[in-house]
């Protein structure tokens, strides 16, 4: 990743765009960098979990999913009702 993309990282726009393009490793790198800035961001953990899952790393995907639930427990309850 090149250039000044830190503002995009914080909003997760860049990572989301990369994910939609199926550039899962690049999206993972962006979400990981964003989590260094904001480690308690449940959306970033959720997004990175999806990247790990697409890359076949179920263990890491589960770790981020669990972090997401720890940070925002209401999401787990919301998911059950869907």
Q: Can you give the pTM of this predicted structure?
A: 0.81
Query: Rounded mean pLDDT of 12-38?
Result: 94
Q: Which of 7, 44, 3 is nearest to 27 (CA)?
A: 44
Torsion of CA 15, 16, 22, 23, to 10 degrees: -10
The per-residue b/e assignment along 63-72, b for 16 or more CB within 10 angstroms, e otherwise, is: ebbebbbebb
**What is the per-residue pLDDT for 2?**
47
pLDDT of residue 9 exceeding 80, the answer is no
């Amino acid at each position: 990743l090149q250039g000044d993309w830190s503002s995009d990282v914080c909003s997760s726009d860049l990572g989301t765009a990369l994910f939609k393009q199926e550039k899962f490793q690049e999206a993972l790198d962006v979400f990981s960098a964003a989590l260094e800035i904001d480690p308690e961001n449940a959306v970033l953990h959720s997004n990175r979990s999806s990247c790990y899952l697409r890359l076949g790393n179920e263990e890491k995907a589960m770790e981020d999913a669990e972090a997401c639930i720890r940070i925002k427990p209401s999401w787990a309850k919301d998911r059950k009702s869907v």
